[in-house]
Amino acid sequence: TKPIQIAIDGPAAAGKSTIAKIVAEKLGYIYIDTGAMYRAITLKALTEGINMASNEEAGQLLAKTEIDLQPSENGQLVFLDKKDVTEAIRSQHVTKAVSEMAAHELVRLRMVELQQQLAEGRGVVMDGRDIGTDVLPDAALKVFMSASVEERARRRFEENKKRNILTPLEELQAEIAKRDKMDSERIVSPLRQADDAIYLDTTDLTIDQAAQNILKLAEERL
Ligand code: C5P
């Protein structure tokens, strides 16, 4: 059967990447975490101390930045100017700044172009905010995945614990809610469910159940 493209969008910490990885592995497709790209350019902006609010500075930074994603055994490696930043882009510092950087039109144009190149002609599971609406508008399967903000904060808290990050639950919930608001209210390709996307509420689902749900939808389209 011909490989298909699967777009998974939704708010922060909804479990998109965990589930997308499982689905990709089961189908033998590549998994592309697009948030990692916005995180990488944000890391560079923070390191160079540019003014995040400035379109012009964001554009100049972009012109001298190389972002590369490479599939790896446990998902994906992220390279910024040839340096492995897979872990560094997950810091709370980057997380808090990323939505401002991701709102710039120039930044989005460049990232979408890269994402489309990566997906071209192959079976992919891509997760993000605008995959079904802008990046892969013809994807055979589009899923909009969500869960209550309380549940999403709780999951992020548990995930952090394993990595020895101890941000309080209330702080995580506030950060997640703020990011969702910024991502949904930006002018350029805001976070929204594509008209032809299937809504999946994972609040009461296990990781495995959510993955099975999507695999079933994918099989119907193969
Ligand atoms: O998916 P993740 O939470 O790592 O994404 C980090 C941020 O990157 C999001 O909050 C959003 O601001 C931005 N993003 C985006 N479009 C995407 C993926 C992520 O604007 N396709």
Q: Domain map of the chain by residue range?
A: 5-221
Q: If you take atom 5 of ligand 1, which residue's CA is the nearest one?
A: 35
pLDDT digits (tens, 9 = 90+) for 180-189: 999 999 999 9
Mean pLDDT of 189-202: 98
Q: Output the pLDDT for position 7.
A: 98
Residue 48 pLDDT > 90: yes
Atom of ligand 1 nearest to the CA of 101: 12
Residue 3 forms beta bridges with which residues? none
CA of 1 from ligand 1 middle (Å) equals 31
Mean pLDDT of 9-20: 96
Q: If you take atom 12 of ligand 1, which residue's CA is the nearest one?
A: 99
d(CA 103, CA 55): 9
Q: Output the pLDDT for position 163.
A: 84
pLDDT digits (tens, 9 = 90+) for 125-151: 999 999 999 999 999 999 999 999 999
What single string gives the DSSP state of each residue in 14-29?
A: SSHHHHHHHHHHHHT-
Q: If you take atom 16 of ligand 1, which residue's CA is the nearest one?
A: 129
Q: Output the pLDDT for position 157.
A: 94
The CATH classification of domain 5-221, taken from the options 3.30.565.10, 3.40.462.10, 3.40.50.300, 3.40.50.1000:
3.40.50.300
Lowest mean pLDDT among 19-33, 97-111, 154-168: 154-168
Q: Output the pLDDT for position 132.
A: 98
- Would the ipTM clear 0.95, i.e. be above it? yes
Q: Which residues line ligand 1 (CB under 6 A)?
A: 12, 34-35, 38-39, 98-99, 102, 128-131, 179, 183
As a whole number, the mean pLDDT across the chain is 96
Q: If you take atom 20 of ligand 1, which residue's CA is the nearest one?
A: 102
Q: Output the pLDDT for position 108.
A: 97
For CA atoms 178, 182, 184, 190, give the dihedral sign: negative
CA of 88 from ligand 1 middle (Å) equals 16
Locate the DSSP E strands across 133-192. 141-146
